[in-house]
Structure 1
Amino acid sequence: MRRPTAHRRRNLGLLAGGCAVTVAIAGCSSSSGSGENAGKSGKVVDGATFSMALNSDPGNLDPQGSAANNVLQIAALAYDSLVSTSAKGRIQPQLASKWKVSGRTVSLTLNSGITCSDGSAFTAAQAADNINYVGNPKNKSPLVGAFLPAGATAKSAGSTVTITLPGPAPFILNGLASVPMVCAKGMANRKSLAKSTDGTGPYQLDRAQPNSSYVFSKRSGYTWGPAGAKTATSGMPAKIDLKVITNETTAANLMLSGQLNAGTFIGPDITRLQAAKLYSVSTATIIGETWYNHAASSPTSDPKVRQALSMATDNKQLQKVLTSGRGSGPTSFAVAPPVACRGNSVSAALPKFDLAKAKSLLEADGWVAGSDGYRRKGGKQLSVRFLYSTTFGTAGSSAAELTAAQWKKLGVKVSMKGQETTTLLSTIFSTGNWDIGWVPLNVNSPDQLIGFMSGPSAPKGNNFAGIDNATYRAEVAKAQSMSGAAGCKHWLSAESSLVKAADVIPWANQKRLTFGKGATFELIGVLQPTSIRMVS
């Protein structure tokens, strides 16, 4: 696998604190509120500041240069998409008031009076410029292939933008709901987007302090939000402060003391937050997912090595450790609601835990155990570089240590390294210095994963693991020839082929909880700014 350039760093979302590839690829969660502040039980408060914890610094803020969850969250504040997705999966207006999909052509008519944060008008011509930028593979946007097909082009006429697709795209409107539109100045100067925002969204960035805080102020006159949401609505915060807090326990303490209004949690701190009867929103997510590097230089390019490593892993035990007993078994690769294809593509395809069989498989493949217990083939030791995210705290490190111990019993030498999210993604995309990575991607539509499971390896594409699975490609082709959910049988079959080949192994799902104190809100992929209501 070719090494990716620095431009492609952080281009997918880890679960940790958000919906990852929402890629959180966006649109990955629906919400239901519960607790003391649920519904209309509190009096709304105007002019307040809403403080929310981010589990890591987002890095470059260009909304079309990353699909990392924290970048998606910032994009939701400062940018709009052409259409939006409701919590139930219904496509609804945002910048566009109406749309039509006809074969490989998508036409969208924009609302009138849309303005950018600097007061300039946002036009259909600018929307076309955005589509042409993201759809051009030369620009290496991680959104291409996930939310917009590579090679998609657009043109405008009056208030209408018309998108021409290079091939079938059964969930194209769902994808467009996750493509932020950048205003003219930002499009002309991409570097300016790294530390500032230039969008039509309900909030604009006032102050950026990397690794500390990102403060936004509410725009007046905003009337084109999801389904016509407006910033004049009573209870919307005057300011939003996204605080970078990498430790869940610290974030929980701040929640309970009233210094935070929102935070997402997956670890043991959930127990005391629930005991405090706080408002909460739950999201279905994949929390445990193992990726193997298929680069020729990696031992995991050998399918028998991947199979053996997978068979030597007790996934049920790992699931209990990582989720503190709150998790469940995997079902499919797209579990975040609103789910496009329901079914179970994983359970029957998972390699069964069998250490003896795993050892026999390696023996037959020429990997012989030496006097030190480690296996060698042709004089080369079987050793792997294993990456996991520190965002999962002690539960994550305990699960990683258990995994490494199981692989050691198999005769594999494991170099284990925990990294915070931004660094881990940089390692995976920019260096190639890894063999096995725990990288949970969360999406609601299986087509959003095509670029990660097939196609060009980085830097030419998002296929960071270099997967080349003929059955997957064939089943995807069949699914794409059908309309929407009609192709779900083939989408699920495509996913099964990845598990059977031990290309990617999902092994744990969990309900992720976002708690609120002094505020209520809705999550659809990320927290929706126009849904926030500050309450007394």
Structure 2
Amino acid sequence: MRFIRTGAGACAVVILLAGCGGGDGGGGGGEVASGGTFTMAMDADPGNLDPQMSPASNVFQLSAFAYDSLVHLADDGTVVSGLASDWAVDGTEVTLTLGDGVTCADGSPFTAADAAANISYVADPANESPLLGTYLPPGATATADGSTLTITLAEPAPFVLQGLASIPMVCASGLADRSVLADETRGTGPYELTEVVPGDRITYTLREGYTWGPDGATTAEEGMPDQVVVQVVPNATTAANLLLSGGLNAATVLGPDAQRLVESDLFASTLDAVLGEMWFHQQEGRPGADPAVRRALTQALDLDELQSVLTGGTGGPATTLATAAPVACPGDSVSGALPTGGLDVARQTLDDAGWTAGPDGTRTKDGTPLELTFIYNSGLGSGGAAAAELAAATWQELGAEVSMSGQDDTALLQTVFGSGNWDVTWLALNVSSPDQLVPFFSGPAAPEGNNFSRIANADYEEGVARAAAMAGAEGCDEWLAAEANLIEAADVVPFANQSASTFGSGAEFDSGAVAVVPTTIRMLAD
């Protein structure tokens, strides 16, 4: 999963989880020139850079420069080579053969034993990797024999290879001392981290002799930059201006600023993603623990209007929870399940549940006022802020006291997974297969697990059990039905999709599992 943020940064996927799709949306097509520096924007300082210890899309993007996964996904969903040259899945056994000559940035070889150690680290619940359960099925074990890695699953997993495509592999020196991974890299990727200036920039330097990228991609291709500088640019308007002036080579921008860039005929690599997704904190004692509150807060909103405001009129309604291309289970689990009705219906829902309005209009139940701490991703830009204001005003009209704040990607994740001081959040998860979302909708609550909303939906869990017992896409109907149970209960409310563009100036690139796939960057001649 990648947590989508849509300011001047990496793929809204987040994340991630699991490609984002790509394509030329305009501009580009010039003569390439090798060397030079490729500068891209990121909307927040990512903090700790350990590639296996953060679900943030910023970290996921940065990891792509310095780390590889065992396999990759092509735009059409086909599994292609990465560190592994061959692979097979037979029931609960996954075997992968590592390619010859793979080396870490320090020159040491990367072996099947190293890959097994990576799988074992992520698989150990004591390590609290957010990749466990999302990309690696719980209970998996790994062994190595020569160049062969064998992963044994506790039970069949329908999309196990898709998950492995999103697990960065760390070299032996990083596994031995993970503290160095906070601000250094120990990977096999096409670039090596060479500078970190907190809050300002992160610099990577090209590796020579790299030949094991996605489907055999190398760093010897004409047009590859010698350096990549990732600049922290919190403001989307600033990022757009820098693109137009040549101060940036790449940035993901939405809203009015994106329209300016489209009209300037810049190169654009475009992806489809969930942009608006609402969650309620269901911890005991918080308003969201009451199903009637979740339902009423959702019913009160005009979701079509919110979608239009959030996306500047360029988006559309959500259809499924797993939307990142290549989508494993296309369909519509959303439209028929959303709680709707408007303010009058929402008022009746709260009345029936014992939330009564006082003289000032504020609702209380058993002496407790309906107070909401509402946080949203500031990377959603001006459209996100306007939509959040509209939602808060509607809830206040319903009888809630609302305090709201926009937080950047890093701060928002720290709040929902750390302090837990929130009641409603807009935080979009973008994955390609529905099994990757299971730990966010069930299982241990944060910080012990990924279930940051503390959701417990028996109908969803029963549906997941049926779907997971089926092979791959054969279980898609069951997966979509399970998702619908979550939406009907207002456990999660997806309300806006959008095609998000990462714009290029003086360079071209593809978007895949991240906004900028490192091995596809091509610098353009002046």
With the shorter chain as reference, the TM-score category is over 0.9
| 8 Å CA contact retained: 2:318, 2:497 | yes
Q: Which of 143, 148, 161 is 1:160 aligned to?
A: 148
Q: Which of 33, 39, 42 is 2:24 aligned to?
A: 33
Q: Determine whether 1:533 maps to 2:514.
A: no
Q: Which of 175, 179, 187 is 2:175 aligned to?
A: 187
CA distances 1:170-229 after superposition (whole Å, capped 9, x unpaired): 000000000000001110111110011000000000101111111100001111111111
Q: Determine whether 1:491 maps to 2:479.
A: yes
CA–CA distance in 2 between the matches of 1:392 and 1:12? 15
For 1:114-133, list aligned pairs within 5 A: 114-133=102-121
Q: Determine whether 1:501 maps to 2:492.
A: no
Once the 2 structures are TM-superposed, how far is the Cα of residue 393 of structure 1 from its aligned partner? 2.2
The two structures, once aligned, show a CA RMSD in angstroms of 1.1
Q: Determine whether 1:274 maps to 2:258.
A: no
| 8 Å CA contact retained: 2:3, 2:57 | yes
CA–CA distance in 2 between the matches of 1:27 and 1:341? 12
Identity across matched positions, percent: 52
CA–CA distance in 1 between the matches of 2:17 and 2:503? 19
| 8 Å CA contact retained: 1:26, 1:72 | no
Q: Which residue of 1 aligns with 2:87?
A: 99
CA distances 1:369-409 after superposition (whole Å, capped 9, x unpaired): 00111011111111111111111222211111110110011
Q: Which of 436, 441, 450 is 1:448 aligned to?
A: 436
CA–CA distance in 1 between the matches of 2:265 and 2:293? 47
Q: Which residue of 2 aligns with 1:63?
A: 51
CA–CA distance in 2 between the matches of 1:157 and 1:493? 41
CA–CA distance in 2 between the matches of 1:263 and 1:364? 48
- Aligned to 2:360, the other structure's residue is in SS state coil
- Aligned to 2:115, the other structure's residue is in SS state helix
Q: Which residue of 1 aligns with 2:4?
A: 14
Q: Which residue of 2 aligns with 1:384?
A: 372
Q: Determine whether 1:296 maps to 2:284.
A: yes
CA–CA distance in 2 between the matches of 1:340 and 1:393? 29
CA distances 1:415-438 after superposition (whole Å, capped 9, x unpaired): 111111111110111111111100
| 8 Å CA contact retained: 1:213, 1:241 | yes
Q: Which residue of 2 aligns with 1:145?
A: 133
Q: Which of 305, 316, 333 is 2:304 aligned to?
A: 316
For 1:313-352, list aligned pairs within 5 A: 313-352=301-340
CA–CA distance in 1 between the matches of 2:240 and 2:480? 38
CA distances 1:330-380 after superposition (whole Å, capped 9, x unpaired): 101011111000100000111123211111111111111001110111111
Q: Which residue of 1 aligns with 2:202?
A: 214
CA–CA distance in 2 between the matches of 1:34 and 1:357? 43
Once the 2 structures are TM-superposed, how far is the Cα of residue 15 of structure 1 from its aligned partner? 3.1
| 8 Å CA contact retained: 2:355, 2:365 | yes
- Aligned to 1:348, the other structure's residue is in SS state coil
| 8 Å CA contact retained: 1:519, 1:534 | yes
CA distances 1:463-497 after superposition (whole Å, capped 9, x unpaired): 00000001110111111111110000011001100
Q: Determine whether 1:431 maps to 2:419.
A: yes
| 8 Å CA contact retained: 2:2, 2:429 | yes
CA–CA distance in 1 between the matches of 2:147 and 2:384? 50
Stretches of 4+ moved more than 3 A in 1? 17-20
Number of residue pairs matched by the alignment: 522
- Aligned to 1:51, the other structure's residue is in SS state strand
| 8 Å CA contact retained: 1:341, 1:485 | yes
- Aligned to 2:277, the other structure's residue is in SS state strand
Q: Which residue of 2 aligns with 1:7?
A: none
Once the 2 structures are TM-superposed, how far is the Cα of residue 12 of structure 1 from its aligned partner? 5.5
CA–CA distance in 2 between the matches of 1:296 and 1:26? 30
Once the 2 structures are TM-superposed, how far is the Cα of residue 14 of structure 1 from its aligned partner? 3.1
CA–CA distance in 1 between the matches of 2:18 and 2:353? 43
Once the 2 structures are TM-superposed, how far is the Cα of residue 288 of structure 1 from its aligned partner? 0.6
Q: Which amino acid aligns with 1:502?
A: A
CA–CA distance in 2 between the matches of 1:246 and 1:431? 23
TM-score of the pair, normalised by structure 1: 0.96
CA–CA distance in 2 between the matches of 1:404 and 1:28? 33
Q: Determine whether 1:285 maps to 2:276.
A: no
TM-score of the pair, normalised by structure 2: 0.98
CA–CA distance in 1 between the matches of 2:387 and 2:442? 28
Q: Which of 490, 498, 505 is 1:510 aligned to?
A: 498
Moved more, 489-498 or 451-460: 451-460
Cα distance, 1:23–1:463 mapped onto 2, change above 3 Å: farther
For structure 1, the 5+ residue unaligned runs are 1-10
CA–CA distance in 2 between the matches of 1:207 and 1:381? 50
Q: Determine whether 1:371 maps to 2:346.
A: no
CA distances 1:10-34 after superposition (whole Å, capped 9, x unpaired): x9623334444x4522433111113
| 8 Å CA contact retained: 1:82, 1:177 | yes
